[in-house]
Structure 1
Amino acid sequence: MKVLNGIPTAVGRNTERPLILTQRTALPGGDKSILFQETCLGLASDQSQIVMRRYFERYSPEGSHWVEYIHSIPTAEFIHWIMTHGQMRIECSEDAPHAQFHAHA
């Protein structure tokens, strides 16, 4: 575990300052264990990949066990996917001539 801005986060060797998407701590049952889960999104150090990490850790008096699933996609491929499949919205300043802006979805 790594503490980032006072918040524990999964240690990632290829991401810096990830965006935490979800974070949860639970007592899953009658035993004395604690389950910590976190999903975060970041960039590889060279910014060529977008990286999503899903980290799971179980603490108990007997010890702890953790697993991390790391998913990545080339940044250019992800941007292309968003532009192809995402919803587009156009915003401009109030004084911009609207005739200059033509967008085809």
Structure 2
Amino acid sequence: MVINIKNEIGGFDYAGSRDSGVNIRETLRENLEKGINVTLDFTGMSGISHSFADEIVGIVVRAYGVDFIKNKLMLNNDNAEIKSLLNLVIRESRKISA
């Protein structure tokens, strides 16, 4: 399953709020629990905030663990800034859940 981030947040190219990630996280969680691999597609996105990254990835990592997420979650069309921020949130979440 592919979740197009830009489409999910109303066509904006920057995701800045935690609220804008709630539905994405729920869709992600529902599919992961069904054993469906998910791709987060960042096509057309210029960036995301730390709170948005935590909402869509951090909370999921804390709930299921990094190893589970690594095997089930893929990223597509993420720029260096987005990738760096998502990796930061994953590292932070790993420390919290440890």
Query: Normalising by the residue count of structure 2, what TM-score does the alignment of the two structures yield?
Result: 0.25
> Counting helix residues as a fraction of each chain, which structure ranks higher?
2
Work out which of the two has the higher radius of gyration on C-alpha atoms and give 1 or 2.
1
Structure with the bigger RCO (C-alpha within 8 Å, sep 6+) is 2
> Counting strand residues as a fraction of each chain, which structure ranks higher?
1
